[in-house]
Amino acid sequence: MIHLGVEYPRTHVIEKLIRLIPADIQVPDEVKRAARLSAFLLQRYPGDHEEIEKEEHLDAVKSAKDVMCWAEEIIG
């Protein structure tokens, strides 16, 4: 967002941030799917949540990596 000059709120809610991406930037489906990572926000501390299955963990990590790769392509 900084690179694009877009003002953004202080939030970890990925859906809100994705909606702020200018329309002329193609957002791949993998990045849009990463919005589900916001569900992990409430799972910050041990014991405050249900255990995460290994496959769910690996899928979340892959989504985060997909977003990072896409963002790196955008900013060069």
Q: Specify if 49 maps to a domain.
A: yes
Which pLDDT belongs to residue 66? 93
Report the C-alpha dihedral over residues 21, 26, 31, 33, rounded to 10 degrees.
100
* pTM for this model (two decimals): 0.73
Q: pLDDT for 4-39, tens place per residue?
A: 888 989 888 888 999 999 999 999 999 999 888 887
- Structural domain harbouring 18: 14-75
Total structural domains in the chain?
Answer: 1
Residue 43 tokens read as 């799972």
Per-residue pLDDT, 23: 92
Q: Is residue 1 domain-resident?
A: no
At 55 the pLDDT is 92
Query: Residue 72: what pLDDT?
Result: 93
Distance from C-alpha of 41 to C-alpha of 5, rounded to nearest angstrom: 26
Any domain includes 31: yes
Q: How far is CA 26 from CA 16, 17, 22, 51, 63, in A?
A: 16, 14, 9, 35, 17
40 CB burial (10 A radius; 0-12, 13-18, 19+): middle
- 7 in any annotated domain: no
